[in-house]
Structure 1
Amino acid sequence: MTGVAMMPCFGVLSLLVLLSQVQGFFQTSEEVTVPEEWVLLHVVQGHIGAGNYSYLRLNHDGRIVLHMRSLKGDADLYVSDKTLRPDFDTYKLQSVTCGYDVVVVPGDFVRPVGIGIYGHPSYLESEFEMKVYYDQTALTDDPFEKDAYSSEGSQGHPKYTQPNSEEEIEEEESILWTILIGILKIILEILF
Structure 2
Amino acid sequence: MRCWIVLVLVVLTSHGHAFMLEEEEDDGAPPEWLLLHVVQGHIGAGNYSYLRLIHDGRIILHMRSLKGDADLYVSDKTLRPSFDVYKLQSATCGHDVVVVPSEFVRPVGIGIYGHPSHKESEFEMKVFYDQTALPEDPFERNAYPSEKGPQGKPRYHQGGGDEDFEDEEESIFWTILIGILKIILEILF
1:34 to 29, 34, 42: 29
Q: Does 1:100 align with 2:92?
A: no
1:69-148 equivalences under 5 Å are: 69-139=64-134, 146=152
8 A Cα contact 2:57 2:135, kept in partner: no
- Of structures 1 and 2, the larger Rg is shown by 2
Please give the secondary structure, in 1, of the residue aligned with 2:152.
coil
Measured in 2, the distance between the counterparts of 1:108 and 1:55 equals: 21
Q: Does 1:50 align with 2:45?
A: yes
Measured in 2, the distance between the counterparts of 1:82 and 1:134 equals: 21
Could you report, residue by residue, the CA deviation over 1:57-79 in whole angstroms, capped at 9, with x for unpaired residues? 00000000000000000000000
RMSD, aligned α-carbons: 2.0
Unaligned 5+ residue runs, structure 2?
1-22, 137-144, 154-189
Unaligned 5+ residue runs, structure 1?
1-28, 148-192
Paired letter, 2:152: K
Please give the secondary structure, in 1, of the residue aligned with 2:97.
strand
Greater share of residues in strand = 2
- Aligned length in residues: 118
Q: Percent identity?
A: 80
Cα offset for 1:140? Answer: 7.6
Runs of 4+ in 1 over 3 A off after TM superposition: 143-147
Measured in 1, the distance between the counterparts of 2:124 and 2:111 equals: 14
TM-score (norm 2): 0.59
